[in-house]
Structure 1
């Protein structure tokens, strides 16, 4: 069976920052891309994409490698916790040991605490996510982040920030982060050490901020592929998936 992975995308306005990594991965393995975009009349939570993802994956009769960044990684993590028999491995980029602490959580906290406009806070988030940018580039990225707040499902709001307790994941786990990520900092990645199994791996990029996989797609791709190849060489632990689930 050829190596096959599914990239979980729930941030349509930011998906161009994932393209270099997907291109690099696709040169070696088959990568499906599953996308979800929230519409304005839908409640903003993660249950809807989780249900739709299951409807998509349950037609496959063998476990698959799941990969996701930030909120996409959170959805993949929730899926792996709920349907471990369907996940061959889980690769998380920019997801800390307390998974729900993402850039949306930071944004709403800043909005609540700081006497600043939405635009000023979003400009601060641009620097946190991508590093220092030119004024024109910052304006462009502010628009993308503003759109992401509207179209990406989130358990957070101005009135409430949700949490998720750390927990060991049943399937093989790979977690990647960046040393200069201000959203999911190195301590949030290192916190996974308390929940790792023997085959699990943590990997740190020297720089690249929260979108390190955009700036260093080949390095990230190489690490994910090595991890997945190691998992593929291990004996199959799961029987044929029950199609009734």
Structure 2
């Protein structure tokens, strides 16, 4: 059954998994989508290379190229995989990933810890607001606890002692980059810099609402644009998507 999967949503943190569920549920009405999860222990060293190797083990079992989707650090993982295994990636959709793909909410957290001489709790409170935009004190406290736990299981290459920078390498697969106009972690100005690296079939999409986890708050709007991107590629494997949407003509344009 798993060999029928044509789309993989990448997850690398068990505490952030819930924020992908609304859009994954929406997309599942139109495509055969699965969630690939990578979990490391709190004491395990961070290694994107290990995650790439394990992801390749899974995709190799599918015996066909797939659409990859990832947000933030998961988008970075998708980029690195597509660069290394271009023949196994039908398309790549990344959300909240700027022109420096290593920039994520973890690096922002350590930037705050380094430059602001205040308690960890105050830094987490500011981070929670930057990520989700809630003023409600109850939600703030809940998100602070969640982010505190998520830090221990992050695949991000950053730490309190070092923050890494990355560079863009063009990938052969069709690429869609999604960002939010209100994202304070990866600003829209940073997202706009992707334009110098796009191929003719690539898409840069702006969500006008919500913060870094914009796809959680706008699953239908963002999901519709992702589906349109897949249909625009015009390959036969996306015909079923068009039929489900009642837009077969688009797949042939």
> What is the TM-score with the length of structure 2 in the denominator?
0.89
Where in structure 2 are the equivalents of 1:34-183 lying within 5 Å? 34-183=36-185
Q: How many residues align?
A: 236
| Partners of 2:8 and 2:67 within 8 A in 1 | yes
Query: Over aligned residues, Cα RMSD in angstroms?
Result: 1.8
| Partners of 1:8 and 1:66 within 8 A in 2 | yes
C-alpha distance in 1, partners of 2:229/2:4?
A: 15
C-alpha distance in 2, partners of 1:44/1:112?
A: 21
C-alpha distance in 2, partners of 1:133/1:63?
A: 43
Q: Which has the higher contact order (CA 8 A, sep 6+)?
A: 1
| Partners of 2:182 and 2:210 within 8 A in 1 | yes
Structure 1: segments with no counterpart, 5+ residues: 236-245
C-alpha distance in 2, partners of 1:181/1:48?
A: 29
Cα distance, 1:40 vs. partner? 2.1
Structure 2: segments with no counterpart, 5+ residues: 238-253
| Runs (4+) off by over 6 Å | none
| Partners of 1:128 and 1:209 within 8 A in 2 | yes
| Partners of 1:2 and 1:29 within 8 A in 2 | no
C-alpha distance in 2, partners of 1:229/1:71?
A: 26
For the residue of structure 1 that corresponds to 2:83, the secondary structure is helix
| Partners of 2:13 and 2:39 within 8 A in 1 | yes
